[in-house]
């Protein structure tokens, strides 16, 4: 089993024309969705019966050091305002790549004493997450 490093990963967000690197990324998570349950129970059933429905790949959450001048963060803000779905690419140092389309649900900012401006971007994955390897 291969163990993949996350340190050094990059996240890009397409601004509608070009893939922009999202600066200030601290961490990311995605793939928290699950398939729907389709109830196929009938009056002849002796217990509840189900069939697996379509996959929902959930949300992608990106923890950030917020920078209003970063082109990637700005691209996410613009897409959120435009309610636009864009391509997101997460590239690991091993050259393994996750590609998916998403829209920006929210971008938050927070700060405090002896702290920098932090934030979280939450993206809703729409469609499948495709894994590939850069050759």
Supply the CATH number for residue 103's domain. 4.10.410.40
Domains: count for the chain: 1
- Tell whether the model's pLDDT for residue 53 goes beyond 70: yes
60 is a domain residue? yes
5 is a domain residue? no
* Bridge partner residues of 126 (DSSP): 101
Instruction: Compute the Cα dihedral for 135, 20, 25, 83 and give only its sign.
Output: negative
112 is a domain residue? yes
3 is a domain residue? no
The pLDDT of 48-67, averaged and rounded, is 96
What are 92-135's pLDDT values in tens digits?
999 999 999 999 999 999 999 999 999 999 999 999 999 999 76
21 is a domain residue? yes
Instruction: Compute the Cα dihedral for 49, 33, 85, 83 and give only its sign.
Output: positive
Rounded to a whole number of angstroms, the distance between the first and last alpha carbons of the chain is 20
| pTM for the whole structure | 0.89
1 is a domain residue? no
76 is a domain residue? yes
8 A C-beta contact, residue 126 and residue 99: no
2 is a domain residue? no
Instruction: Compute the Cα dihedral for 32, 53, 128, 16 and give only its sign.
Output: negative
CA-CA distance, 75 to 37, in Å (whole number)?
Answer: 35
Query: Which residue matches tokens 């990637």?
Result: 72
The chain-wide mean pLDDT, for the chain, equals 95
The pLDDT of 42-56, averaged and rounded, is 97
CA distances from 134 to 15, 16, 94, 99 (A): 22, 22, 9, 12
Which range marks the domain in which residue 121 is found? 10-133
């Amino acid at each position: 089993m291969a163990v993949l490093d996350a340190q050094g990963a990059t996240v890009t967000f397409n601004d509608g024309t070009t893939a922009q690197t999202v600066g200030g990324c601290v961490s990311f998570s995605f793939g928290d969705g699950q398939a729907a349950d389709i109830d196929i129970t009938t009056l002849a059933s002796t217990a509840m019966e189900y069939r697996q429905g379509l996959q929902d790949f959930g949300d992608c959450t990106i923890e950030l050091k917020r920078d209003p001048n970063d082109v990637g963060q700005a691209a996410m803000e613009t897409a959120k305002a435009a309610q636009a779905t864009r391509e997101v690419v997460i590239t690991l140092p091993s050259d393994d790549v996750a590609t998916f389309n998403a829209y920006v649900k929210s971008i938050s900012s927070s700060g405090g004493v002896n702290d920098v401006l932090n934030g979280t971007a939450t993206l809703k994955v729409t469609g499948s997450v495709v894994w590939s390897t850069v050759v």
